[in-house]
Amino acid sequence: MRRPRLGLSGCLLHAGLRYDGRDVSNPSLNALAERFELITRCPEVGAGMPTPRPPIDWVGDRIMDRAAGIDWTPPLRAWIEATLAELGPIHGWILKRRSPSCGLGSAARYGVDGVARVDGIWAAALRARWPALPLIDEVGFAADEAAFERQVWAYALADQARPARSTGAEARPKQ
């Protein structure tokens, strides 16, 4: 079979994406390209945010630049809709911890009851679109890379065995 298609939050492989301009890329992740077809996406840059930029946060059910009072939810949701439509088959995703876009149960959400930890808007969209898709953040991945890689291969094998129309696998990935 062809290599599974593994997504990563863009800043884990590429500098120049994060809100604070900091390089958090991990060159060792490039070695995954020997076993997987790597796909990277940055929801915030994709939604039109500059780098560097003010931090954004979940405030209730909105993603806000709280300092400027800008609601980034509509452009983020538009990017998500377009990206899910063009992504093609996907078999796992490594997400950046704590990001309001990419965090996996680790994004801060401010509400009347204080701060809760929730999925980022992109992580939530991946879960909703593919409920069984293997997801992990970079910290969890570093703790047990082999276990996650096995999950991705198992998901890809199962995906290949399913009728294409049930998985969206018939869609050609945009390169």
Considering the complex, state which of residue 22 and residue 174 has its C-beta at the smaller distance from ligand SF4: 22
Structure tokens at 4: 């599974």
Considering the complex, state which of residue 9 and residue 36 has its C-beta at the smaller distance from ligand SF4: 9
Q: How far is CA 56 from the centre of its chain?
A: 16
Considering the complex, state which of residue 9 and residue 153 has its C-beta at the smaller distance from ligand SF4: 9
Q: Where do the DSSP E strands lie in 27-78?
A: 37-41, 57-59, 62-65, 70-71
Please, what is the minimum distance in Å from the beta carbon of residue 172 to ligand SF4?
Answer: 24
Q: Where do the DSSP E strands lie in the chain?
A: 5-9, 37-41, 57-59, 62-65, 70-71, 92-95, 107-111, 114-118, 135-137
- CB-based contact 19:26 (threshold 8 Å): no
Please report, as ranges, the residues that interact with ligand SF4 according to CB under 6 A: 9-11, 17-18, 42-45, 96, 99, 101-102
Considering the complex, state which of residue 45 and residue 152 has its C-beta at the smaller distance from ligand SF4: 45
Please, what is the minimum distance in Å from the beta carbon of residue 151 to ligand SF4?
Answer: 21
Please, what is the minimum distance in Å from the beta carbon of residue 3 to ligand SF4?
Answer: 22
Please, what is the minimum distance in Å from the beta carbon of residue 132 to ligand SF4?
Answer: 22
Considering the complex, state which of residue 63 and residue 169 has its C-beta at the smaller distance from ligand SF4: 63
Rounded-to-integer distance, Cα 49 and Cα 47, Å: 6
Angle among Cα 104, 124, 127 to the nearest 5 degrees reads: 95
Please, what is the minimum distance in Å from the beta carbon of residue 23 to ligand SF4?
Answer: 11
